[in-house]
């Protein structure tokens, strides 16, 4: 396991009021592991402990075999961290930000301009970051985390604030990195990105992990197969969802179909959000 | 080492792109120019004469008895020289072949007065010496010039520390410290990288100020030793202001408080009777000022410089020990 966490607790107030409690999970090499949960669930706290931004108070956590409590600085040569908040030097240009950050590593780093080109920032390379839009800053932080070509990549809400086209580009880059063997730890409250990218997902709520499984297994286990039908009755158009595990509803749908009143018919799976609500009783927002 | 230099270069680049920090880098030089403009001859009380080379050797020798003599080829060059900032009286011949003094008009009264008396003496062909004595208390420079120059160097040292502080505030405001924490850079490299600007900037500023004030004849090495040792307190205070202030406004407020400490140390050293100087021994800036003032007046020996450096280092160390925990916590 490249990331291994056992019995992790953290309290910001140094008392029993834990932001994360008894968190256990492990991530295999080359896997995209998603931490899915609403704001304040403990996603970023866990990531901060793993990356050394918060001290390990209780429990065990290791990255690539190194205990995070006393991990050597050189370990960071193999780690990349993309922050949710766009934390760049605003008075430096995009390229200056990347060039400066590349000097912090002892390993061969990637070409800054090439990285900027990957996310469509090549034309803004020599523009000061203070003139960047929110989306541009987000992209700059994202590519900065790639500068050392990390083996383990921590991404915190990587598509937040991005338009669909750019978000799709970012997702493609993430998939490509995974294909090249990078292990990715992704924290998000966006079920679509989690569903699309992750091999395994941990559903975290109020500091505790409720479930860990692949998106497909979660859907099979907790999702209800539904059929969404639009049909006419007495000249009036109606929309209704029918459960495929409830006999009464199956019979009702069959009746409608037999009468030839169906206008449209779609199969529907439960979304991760629905599963999350079902498991935690709370939404993802 | 590469990381340390990169941090310094980043800070410097960022500082020159910030109007307030750029101003902090320039203001000591502007003040030095002001000092130079408003106090002609601030650096020297010796009477100086710019004399036409073609005058009799005897005349030139007479002037040499009373002051410094500079020789020039013709009247135009003498006028050019007289028009420069410092006090100097030009001596040449008029149309009637008589000695005349050329003055700019803003000189201290001793300069034209002495020139006139010497000329009068030569014209009368009086062999007796003139009864014109300029006495001083052993200093070669006016107090305004020496205190002003030493104070400006202290100000530039403290502003170097403030530049560190404001760069740390920038890191905090942009949350960039987190990005550095998840890189192989360690805390020592960060502190060293951030500190360099607090030493380099005062050194460059001070050398330029000494040049502006025509003080390059002082022992520059002595001045540099004093600047480097004094920079340490500015660095400590810069880090402290950086970690205590969450934004530039708070940084400015804290800087004002700090400047009170600077002013108190300098004013105390100047105004208090030397028997009461022990009241200022707690302040590293007192030791720095005393050393720099002595070095500018050229009345200090290396052993006295050593005492001042030691005083600065001991008091800085005490302040550092008090502030250490706060700085460490603020940077983590």
- Over the stretch A136-170, which tens digit does the pLDDT of each residue have? 999 999 999 999 999 999 998 888 878 888 888 99
Q: What is the pLDDT of residue B130?
A: 47
CB A91, CB A59: distance < 8 Å: no
Residues of A in contact with B2 (CB under 8 A): 103
Could you give the CA distance from residue B103 to residue B90 in angstroms, rounded to a whole number? 6
What residue segments make up the domains of chain A, in order of their start?
Answer: 3-214, 224-268
Best mutation target, A87, A131, A152, to test chain B (most B CBs within 10 A): A87
Q: What is the pLDDT of residue B45?
A: 55
Least confident of A73-77, B27-31, B306-310: A73-77
Domain A3-214, architecture per CATH: 3-Layer(aba) Sandwich (3.40)
Q: Which of A112-116, A222-226, B39-43, B267-271 has the highest mean pLDDT?
A: A112-116
Residue B298 at interface with chain A, using a CB cutoff of 8 Å? no
Mean pLDDT of A69-88: 86
Q: CB–CB of A104 and B182 under 8 A?
A: no
Q: What is the pLDDT of residue B56?
A: 85
Contact residues of A toward B, CB < 8 A: 51-53, 73-74, 76-77, 79, 81, 83, 85, 87-92, 96, 100-101, 103-106, 128, 144
A40 by DSSP, 3-state: which? coil
Mean pLDDT of B301-313: 92
pLDDT in tens, B95-140: 877 888 888 776 766 778 888 888 887 777 655 444 444 444 444 5
Residues of A in contact with B10 (CB under 8 A): 89, 92, 100
Least confident of A81-95, A100-114, B124-138, B238-252: B124-138
Q: CB–CB of A87 and B181 under 8 A?
A: no
Q: CB–CB of B184 and A77 under 8 A?
A: yes
Q: CB–CB of A53 and B185 under 8 A?
A: no
CB B88, CB B70: distance < 8 Å: yes
Mean pLDDT of B20-29: 90
Best mutation target, B183, B188, B190, to test chain A (most A CBs within 10 A): B183
Q: CB–CB of B182 and A53 under 8 A?
A: yes
Contacts with A248 (C-beta within 8 Å, 6 or more apart), sequence order: none
Give residue A284's pLDDT band: very low, low, confident or very high (50, 70, 90). low
pLDDT in tens, A5-63: 899 898 888 888 888 889 899 899 999 999 888 888 888 889 889 888 888 888 888 88
Comparison of pLDDT for B225 and A217, the residue scoring more? B225
Residue B329 at interface with chain A, using a CB cutoff of 8 Å? no
Q: What is the pLDDT of residue A152?
A: 93
Q: Which of A37-41, A241-245, B42-46, B187-191 has the highest mean pLDDT?
A: B187-191
Least confident of A192-196, A277-281, B53-57, B245-249: A277-281
Residues of A in contact with B13 (CB under 8 A): 91-92, 96
Comparison of pLDDT for B261 and A61, the residue scoring more? A61
Q: CB–CB of B179 and A96 under 8 A?
A: no
Q: What is the pLDDT of residue B141?
A: 64
Residue B6 at interface with chain A, using a CB cutoff of 8 Å? yes
Q: CB–CB of B18 and A88 under 8 A?
A: no
CB B18, CB B145: distance < 8 Å: no
> Whole-number mean pLDDT of chain B?
84
Q: What is the pLDDT of residue B193?
A: 92
- Of B3, B14, B181, nearest to A53 by CB-CB distance is B181
Residues of B in contact with A85 (CB under 8 A): 175
Could you give the CA distance from residue B166 to residue B15 in angstroms, rounded to a whole number? 9
Q: CB–CB of B6 and A128 under 8 A?
A: no
CB A59, CB A48: distance < 8 Å: no
Q: What is the pLDDT of residue B65?
A: 79
Residues of A in contact with B328 (CB under 8 A): none
Could you give the CA distance from residue B43 to residue B25 in angstroms, rounded to a whole number? 24
Please give, rounded to a whole number of angstroms, the shortest distance from the CA of A229 to a CA of chain B: 51
pLDDT in tens, A235-283: 788 888 887 777 888 888 888 888 777 888 887 777 777 777 767 766 6
State percent of chain B over pLDDT 70. Answer: 90
Q: CB–CB of B170 and A52 under 8 A?
A: no
Q: Which residues of B205-232 are buried (b: 16+ CB within 10 A; e: fewer)?
A: bbeebbebbebeebeeebbebbbebbbb
Q: CB–CB of A76 and B184 under 8 A?
A: yes
Which residue of B lies nearest to A74 if distances are taken between CA atoms?
B184
What residue segments make up the domains of chain B, in order of their start?
Answer: 2-38+140-331, 48-123
Q: What is the pLDDT of residue B134?
A: 44
């Amino acid at each position: 396991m490249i990331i291994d966490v056992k019995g992790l607790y953290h309290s910001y107030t140094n008392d029993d009021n834990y932001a994360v409690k008894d968190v256990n999970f492990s991530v295999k090499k080359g896997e995209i592991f998603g931490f899915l949960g609403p704001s304040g669930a403990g996603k970023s706290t866990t990531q901060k402990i793993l990356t050394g931004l918060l001290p390990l108070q209780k429990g065990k956590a290791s990255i690539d075999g190194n205990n995070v409590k006393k991990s050597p600085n050189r370990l960071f040569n193999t780690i990349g961290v993309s922050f949710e908040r766009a934390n760049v030097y605003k008075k430096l240009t995009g390229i200056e930000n990347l060039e400066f950050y590349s000097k912090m590593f002892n390993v061969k780093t990637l070409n800054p301009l090439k990285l900027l080109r990957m996310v469509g920032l090549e034309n803004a390379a020599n523009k000061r970051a203070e003139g960047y839009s929110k989306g541009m800053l987000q992209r700059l932080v994202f590519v900065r985390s790639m500068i050392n070509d990390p083996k383990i990549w921590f991404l915190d809400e990587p598509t937040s604030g991005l338009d669909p086209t750019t978000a799709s580009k970012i997702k493609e880059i993430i998939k490509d990195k995974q294909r090249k063997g990078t292990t990715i730890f992704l924290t998000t409250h966006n079920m679509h990105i989690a569903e699309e990218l992750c091999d395994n997902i941990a559903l975290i709520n109020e500091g505790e992990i409720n479930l860990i499984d692949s998106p497909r297994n979660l859907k099979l286990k907790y999702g209800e197969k539904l059929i969404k039908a639009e049909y006419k009755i007495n000249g009036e158009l109606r929309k209704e969802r029918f459960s495929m595990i409830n006999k009464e509803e199956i019979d009702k749908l069959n009746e409608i179909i037999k009468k030839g009143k169906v206008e449209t018919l779609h199969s529907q799976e439960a979304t991760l959000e629905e599963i999350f609500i079902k498991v935690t009783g709370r939404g993802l927002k | 080492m590469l990381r340390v230099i990169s941090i310094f270069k980043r800070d410097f680049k960022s500082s020159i792109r910030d109007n307030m920090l750029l101003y902090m880098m320039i203001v000591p030089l502007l003040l030095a120019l002001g000092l130079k403009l408003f106090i002609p001859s601030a650096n020297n009380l010796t009477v100086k004469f710019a004399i036409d080379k073609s005058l009799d050797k005897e005349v030139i020798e007479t002037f040499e008895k009373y002051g410094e003599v500079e020789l020039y080829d013709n009247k135009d060059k003498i006028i050019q020289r007289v028009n420069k900032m410092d006090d100097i009286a030009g001596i040449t011949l008029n149309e009637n072949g008589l000695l005349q003094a050329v003055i700019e008009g803003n000189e201290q009264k001793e300069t034209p007065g002495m020139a006139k008396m010497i000329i009068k003496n030569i014209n009368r062909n009086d062999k007796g010496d003139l009864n014109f004595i300029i006495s001083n208390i052993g200093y070669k420079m006016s107090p305004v010039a020496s205190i002003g120059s030493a104070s400006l160097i202290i100000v530039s040292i403290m502003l170097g520390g403030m530049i560190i502080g404001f760069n740390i505030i920038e890191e905090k405001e942009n949350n960039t410290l987190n990005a550095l924490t998840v890189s192989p850079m360690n805390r020592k490299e960060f502190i060293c990288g951030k500190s360099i600007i607090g030493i380099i900037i005062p050194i460059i500023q001070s050398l330029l100020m000494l040049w502006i004030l025509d003080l390059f004849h002082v022992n520059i090495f002595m001045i540099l030793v004093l600047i480097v040792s004094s920079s340490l307190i500015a660095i400590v205070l810069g880090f402290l202001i950086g970690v205590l202030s969450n934004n530039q406004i708070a940084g400015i407020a804290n800087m004002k408080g700090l400047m009170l400490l600077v002013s108190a140390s300098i004013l105390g050293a100047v105004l208090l009777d030397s028997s009461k100087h022990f009241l200022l021994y707690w302040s590293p800036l007192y030791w720095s000022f005393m050393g720099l003032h002595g070095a500018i007046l050229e009345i200090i020996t290396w052993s006295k410089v050593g005492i001042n450096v030691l005083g600065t280092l001991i008091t800085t160390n005490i302040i550092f020990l008090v502030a250490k925990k706060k700085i460490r916590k603020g940077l983590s």
